[in-house]
Structure 1
Amino acid sequence: MARGIVVVIASVNRPRELGRWVEHIARQTLKPCEMIWAVTSQADLPEGYELGSVTQGFSILECPVGLTQQRNRGLAHISSDPEYVVFFDDDYVPTASCLADIVRAFEIMPEVVGLTGTMLGDGICTCGIEYEEARALVERYEQDRVFPERPSLEPWEGLYGCNMAYRAAAIEGQEFDENLPLYAWQEDVDFAVRVARGRPMGRTDAFAGVHQGIKGGRGSGRRLGYSQIVNPLYLLRKGSMKWRKALVMASRNVIANHVRSARPEPWIDRRGRVVGNWVALWDVARGRVDPMRALEL
């Protein structure tokens, strides 16, 4: 039997979404041995919750701004001896059996060190999915839910940061790269590749949920546009991303931002991203590949 599972959630400027995790956890058929909220200020918290509070396995940490720093503080704060650690985004809506399904999948596949689940809906590339719609997607899925006799495992080069679960032993001594600032684009891939070291991990049908893709709290288009170019090249130098993937990822973003900047989506600062792309390309041409430079934009 598993010793337990810890849930870590990093959040900035989304008190409504973060507060819903109280309900999400209450619905779980398997409760976590700890839940940790890593936030940057009191303003990130729903009403009635205070920075620094620790009650019955529920901790609220005040952290420096930045996804990697927040997740690292969350990891460092784990006080139990869990067998599994799962990172969720604040706007992820899990099924009621999500945590139990994660544990069951790991027990069935003892060789696997990391898993990301099935997306019932993902609003990251759209205007986002409203909470009521997300709950409806989850409830429809739960009506006919049957845990697979043998969960699937689709190998991935990395895991999806909104819902990534690890064996605690596999991530012992590992940290998220704090040279990837703020939203820390591609930090999930970097972390997963370093953890894997040739061991199996990937996407599975064993657990599921909806990623709302809320647009608040993500920061400026210029900074993200800069990270879209520099972060993949930085990871290429580190060895946690293959050159083909880095090139395709950076090129695809440059093309999309330029093509769509004439008629940008209301929820995306395409023109800001274009500016960030060009600043990044100029820096790369001068031999400067430093993700922290995004903080200067």
Structure 2
Amino acid sequence: MNKFALIVCTYMRPIALLKLLESVREQSLYPNEIIIVDGSSNNHTEKVIRSNDFNNLTYHRVEEKDRGLTKQRNFGIKKLSADTEIVSFLDDDIVLTNNYFKELIQTYHIKPDAIAVGGYIKNEVVWQALKDGSYAEGKFCIDGWQRNEPLKFKVRKKLGLLPDTRPGIICSFSHGRSVSFLPPNGKVYQVEQFMGGVSSYKTEVFKKVGFSNYFEGYGLYEDVDFCIRLLPLGKLYLNTAAQLNHYHEPSGRPNQYKYGKMVIRNGWYVWRLKNNKPLLKTKFKWYAVSALQTLFRFFNVFNTSKKVEALSDTLGRISGLLGLLINKPRLPHNNP
């Protein structure tokens, strides 16, 4: 079995991190090393780590210059043992099922051409297996399973704005279906993107690519950026049998205005990184879907209890869209 490591980049979430590490302790296949990279501005996380005993764990608290998701990940990579073959990254608000690492690492043997493998979040979507093969109206169906079709996709269908690719494959105008639209059937799917917070990579790829410093702080869509830059090097897969729960810890997140602005600007960045010469029709669709999703977010001001957050997020998205008319993000030199 490959020697593998776990890197967890954390920020101001000591209790959530402890729950994750306790689930790591129960794994049927345990990491050869665990590296905690803490960007917290206090020592609460360090106290939690020091007061508990976890095998093969090293703790690093970073200074301001190394703080932020992508910077902390690059910091952690530098701390890996030289003979580590695979490195797994997990968000700090995750709890693993007992066989997560066993299923994840086994994927590299099932798919020898894999350079990266993503895990599967099982608690965010309710899926139903279809025993008789019948599909319910208004549901999203794939491989004999169905789930609720979000309202935004129903509206996009009426407007001719549905994704032109299957789940996990990047759409020509972005705004595609994420890997959450792949069913929990135990299959391994080839993909072009997955969540960075439930990911793993062969360490050899870091000799050629690293996590981008363009994505500061919270780093929204940094995982998509990294997956796109990996595609020329080999194949990416998602193993739906490598399951975990994601609890979206509220602490440590940016305010909603900044988040909404990142949705637009970082979303534009990764779209153009993958599609550097989009057709006029493709450009229209990207802006149309971005505007539509901004409108849906505005409706949350009236139909959810978190009205202030929804309004702040909406204003951030509007600011992001208007900002693109004046000052677009700078792409790498090989993109126009």
Q: TM-score, normalised by structure 2?
A: 0.69
Rounded to whole Å, the distance in 2 between the matches of 1:44 and 1:248 is 44
Rounded to whole Å, the distance in 2 between the matches of 1:202 and 1:249 is 27
Structure possessing the higher radius of gyration over alpha carbons: 2
Q: 1:258 to 1:174 in 2, by over 3 A?
A: same
Rounded to whole Å, the distance in 2 between the matches of 1:253 and 1:67 is 26
CA deviation after TM superposition for structure 1 residue 252, in Å? 4.8
Give SS of 1:32's match: coil
Q: Which residue of 1 aligns with 2:112?
A: 110
1:221/1:273 contact within 8 Å kept: yes
2:192/2:231 contact within 8 Å kept: no
Q: Which residue of 1 aligns with 2:240?
A: 205
**1:247-297 Cα shifts (integer Å, max 9, x gaps):** 576345312222212344439811111221122122111133269xxxxxx
Choose the corresponding residue for 2:230, options 195, 202, 215.
195
Identity %: 21
Q: Which residue of 1 aligns with 2:142?
A: none
CA deviation after TM superposition for structure 1 residue 235, in Å? 2.1
**1:5 is aligned with what amino acid?**
F
CA deviation after TM superposition for structure 1 residue 241, in Å? 8.2
Rounded to whole Å, the distance in 2 between the matches of 1:255 and 1:242 is 27
1:12/1:44 contact within 8 Å kept: no
Rounded to whole Å, the distance in 1 between the matches of 2:330 and 2:228 is 20
**1:202 is aligned with what amino acid?**
Y
Aligned residues: 261
Q: Which residue of 1 aligns with 2:264?
A: 229
2:256/2:313 contact within 8 Å kept: yes
Q: 1:235 to 1:21 in 2, by over 3 A?
A: same
Give SS of 1:78's match: coil
Q: Which residue of 1 aligns with 2:17?
A: 18
Q: 1:242 to 1:19 in 2, by over 3 A?
A: farther
Rounded to whole Å, the distance in 2 between the matches of 1:183 and 1:19 is 20
Rounded to whole Å, the distance in 1 between the matches of 2:84 and 2:307 is 39
Within the alignment, does 1:280 sit opposite 2:320 as a pair? yes
Within the alignment, does 1:47 sit opposite 2:82 as a pair? no
Within the alignment, does 1:217 sit opposite 2:219 as a pair? no
Rounded to whole Å, the distance in 2 between the matches of 1:201 and 1:268 is 39
**2:259 is aligned with what amino acid?**
L
In structure 2, runs of 5+ residues without a counterpart are 126-184, 332-336
Q: Which residue of 2 aligns with 1:171?
A: 206
Q: Which residue of 2 aligns with 1:158?
A: 193
**1:58-111 Cα shifts (integer Å, max 9, x gaps):** 222223331111111111211242111111111111111211221111111101
Rounded to whole Å, the distance in 2 between the matches of 1:14 and 1:175 is 25
Give SS of 1:202's match: strand
**1:157 is aligned with what amino acid?**
E
**Relative to structure 2, which stretch is displaced further, 219-228 or 266-275?**
266-275
Q: TM-score, normalised by structure 1?
A: 0.78
**1:207-249 Cα shifts (integer Å, max 9, x gaps):** 1111112222111011111101100212234337896595576
Q: Which residue of 2 aligns with 1:72?
A: 74
**2:102 is aligned with what amino acid?**
A
Aligned runs of 1:80-91 on 2, under 5 Å?
80-91=82-93
Q: 1:242 to 1:34 in 2, by over 3 A?
A: farther
